[in-house]
Chain A
Amino acid sequence: MRVGLSALWDRRPLLIRAQERRGPRTKAWSMRIGVIAFIAFVLAAVAAPLLTPYDPVKLDLLSALQPPSFAHPFGTDHLGRDVLTRVIFGAQVDLQIGLIGVSIPLVIGTIIGLLAGYFGGITDAIIGRVIDVVIAFPFLVLVVAIVAMLGPGLVNLFIAITVVSWVLYARILRGETMAVRQREYVIAAEGLGYGHLRVMLRHILRNAIAPALIFAMSDFVLDLQLGATLSFFGLGVQPPRAEWGLMIAESRNFMLSSPWTVLFPGLAIILLSFIVSLIGEGIADRVRGLHDE
Chain B
Amino acid sequence: MIGYLRSRVLQFVPVLFGISFIVFILIRLIPGDPAIALLGTRATPELIERVHEQLGLDLPLWRQYLHYLANIARGDFGTSFFYQTDVWTLAFERVPTTLALMSYAVGLSVLAGIPIALLAASRRGTIADEGIRLLLTVALGIPSFWLGIVFALAFGVVLRILPISGAGHGGFDTLRHLTLPAITIACALTPILVRTLRSSLIEVLNSDCVTTGRAMGLARRYLLTSYLLRNSLRPVVTVISINIGYLIGGTVVTEQIFSVPGVGSLLIGSIATRDYGIIQMATLLFALLVVIVNLVADLLYRVIDPRVQL
A residues contacting B by CB (< 8 A) are: 1, 4-5, 7-10, 15-16, 19-20, 22-23, 26, 129-130, 132-142, 144-146, 148-151, 221, 225-226, 228-229, 232-235, 245, 248, 252, 255-256, 262, 266, 269-274, 277-278, 281
| Interface residue from A136, A144, A150 paired with B252 (Cβ < 8 Å) | A144
B287 adjacent to A137 (CB under 8 Å):
yes
Is residue B248 contacting chain A, with contact meaning CB distance below 8 A? yes
User: Which B residue sits closest to A281, measured CB to CB?
Assistant: B137
Alpha-carbon gap, A22 to B130, bound state (A): 10
User: Which A residue sits closest to B285, measured CB to CB?
Assistant: A141
Is residue B4 contacting chain A, with contact meaning CB distance below 8 A? no
Given contacts A137-B283, A142-B22, A149-B276, 19 further A-B contacts (CB under 8 A): A8-B121, A132-B15, A137-B22, A138-B287, A141-B267, A149-B26, A150-B29, A221-B141, A226-B249, A228-B143, A229-B144, A232-B145, A234-B272, A248-B145, A248-B146, A256-B157, A266-B142, A266-B143, A266-B146
User: Which A residue sits closest to B153, measured CB to CB?
Assistant: A255
| Interface residue from A9, A129, A233 paired with B256 (Cβ < 8 Å) | A233
Chain A residues, CB < 8 A from B138: 270, 274
Is residue B304 contacting chain A, with contact meaning CB distance below 8 A? no
Alpha-carbon gap, A262 to B151, bound state (A): 13
Which one of A148, A233, A271, A272 has the highest number of Cβ atoms from chain B below 10 Å of its Cβ? A148
B130 adjacent to A277 (CB under 8 Å):
no
| Interface residue from A16, A142, A226, A269 paired with B283 (Cβ < 8 Å) | A142
A193 → chain B, closest Cβ, in Å?
38
A-B contact pairs, 17 of them (CB 8 A): A5-B122, A130-B18, A132-B15, A134-B22, A137-B290, A138-B245, A138-B286, A138-B287, A139-B246, A146-B26, A148-B271, A150-B31, A225-B141, A232-B143, A245-B145, A274-B141, A277-B140
Chain B residues, CB < 8 A from A272: 141
A269 adjacent to B143 (CB under 8 Å):
yes
B32 → chain A, closest Cβ, in Å?
10
A133 adjacent to B15 (CB under 8 Å):
yes
User: Which A residue sits closest to B136, measured CB to CB?
Assistant: A277
* Chain B interface residue bracket vs A: 35 or more
Chain A residues, CB < 8 A from B287: 136-138, 141
Is residue B119 contacting chain A, with contact meaning CB distance below 8 A? yes
A164 → chain B, closest Cβ, in Å?
10
A149 → chain B, closest Cβ, in Å?
4
| Interface residue from B121, B122, B141, B271 paired with A144 (Cβ < 8 Å) | B271
Alpha-carbon gap, A146 to B280, bound state (A): 10
Main secondary structure of the interface of A (DSSP, over half): helix
User: Which A residue sits closest to B224, measured CB to CB?
Assistant: A5
Alpha-carbon gap, A138 to B27, bound state (A): 18
6 nearest A-B residue pairs (beta carbon): A273-B141, A133-B18, A140-B249, A138-B245, A20-B125, A138-B248
Alpha-carbon gap, A271 to B158, bound state (A): 26
Which one of A133, A151, A271 has the highest number of Cβ atoms from chain B below 10 Å of its Cβ? A133
B140 adjacent to A273 (CB under 8 Å):
yes
A141 adjacent to B137 (CB under 8 Å):
no
Q: Type the 1/0 row for B242-261, where 1 means its CB is closer than 8 Å to any CB of A.
A: 00111011001100100000
User: Which A residue sits closest to B268, measured CB to CB?
Assistant: A233
A19 adjacent to B126 (CB under 8 Å):
yes
B144 adjacent to A19 (CB under 8 Å):
no
User: Which A residue sits closest to B152, measured CB to CB?
Assistant: A255
A8 adjacent to B205 (CB under 8 Å):
yes
B10 → chain A, closest Cβ, in Å?
14
Is residue B233 contacting chain A, with contact meaning CB distance below 8 A? no
Chain A residues, CB < 8 A from B224: 5
Alpha-carbon gap, A248 to B145, bound state (A): 9
Alpha-carbon gap, A136 to B252, bound state (A): 16
A141 adjacent to B246 (CB under 8 Å):
no
A25 → chain B, closest Cβ, in Å?
12
Chain B residues, CB < 8 A from A273: 140-142
A229 adjacent to B143 (CB under 8 Å):
yes
B271 adjacent to A235 (CB under 8 Å):
yes
Chain A residues, CB < 8 A from B286: 137-138, 141
Alpha-carbon gap, A248 to B146, bound state (A): 8
User: Which B residue sits closest to A222, measured CB to CB?
Assistant: B246
Chain A residues, CB < 8 A from B145: 228-229, 232-233, 245, 248
| Interface residue from A140, A149, A150, A225 paired with B248 (Cβ < 8 Å) | A140
B residues 1-53 in Cβ contact with A at 8 Å: 14-15, 18-19, 21-22, 26-27, 29-31
| Interface residue from B26, B137, B220, B256 paired with A278 (Cβ < 8 Å) | B137
User: Which B residue sits closest to A232, measured CB to CB?
Assistant: B145
Q: Type the 1/0 row for B150-192, where 1 means its CB is closer than 8 Å to any CB of A.
A: 1001000110000000000000000000000000000000000
User: Which B residue sits closest to A259, measured CB to CB?
Assistant: B153
B245 adjacent to A269 (CB under 8 Å):
no
